Amino acid sequence: MDVNPSVFLKRYDTTLMKDLHFKQLVPEISKSQPASNLPPASPQASSKESTAFIIGLILRGGVILSATITCIGLLLLALTPGGVTEHRLVTFPHTLNDVWAGLLGLHPQAVIALGLLLLIAIPVITVTTAAIAFALERDRRFTVIALTVLAILITSFLLGKGGA
């Protein structure tokens, strides 16, 4: 793929000129102006920021936890007597009871399945958190949207078929 530097420079110059023109049209707020003259931040803005932070924390933490559990399962699979075989790679628990029984026996496939189940559960937890947060903020429209998405997720889990 050939990159023509003149096209890049022309686009950069155009963007730079637009930015300079914008700065001339919009006067900057004086830096000597005390912060007390600025309008106070609205309580709604801070609650929305905290909601976004919590949702982001759930997503990041959940994915990291899921990846860690899955990697521990893979490590256990490699370290178990008999090593990694084709049979072990394709044999996984199929029900939640099988996963639980495998976890109690510290079977590597059950640990991997737990990591994958957690990865599947993260969107449900996130949407539930968002629905609760929107309801607490009394944002009816986004509460309904979040509850609709949650209903679709739960319905897809209940109607979904495993295997063939």
56-69 pLDDT per residue, tens: 999 999 999 999 99
Task: Supply the pLDDT for residue 40.
Answer: 47
DSSP 3-state of 66:
helix
Q: How far apart are CA 109 and CA 111, in angstroms?
A: 5
Task: Supply the pLDDT for residue 44.
Answer: 56
Could you give the percent of the chain with pLDDT greater than 90?
Answer: 39
Task: Supply the pLDDT for residue 51.
Answer: 82
Give domain limits for the chain. Answer: 47-158
Q: How far apart are CA 110 and CA 92, in angstroms?
A: 7
Task: Supply the pLDDT for residue 129.
Answer: 93
pLDDT beneath 70: ranges in the chain: 1-47, 83, 87, 89-90, 161-164
Q: How far apart are CA 57 and CA 164, in angstroms?
A: 36
Contact 126, 137 (CB under 8 A): no
Q: In a 10 Å sphere around its CB, with 0-12 CB exposed, 13-18 middle and 19+ buried, how is residue 43 labelled?
A: exposed
Task: Supply the pLDDT for residue 69.
Answer: 95
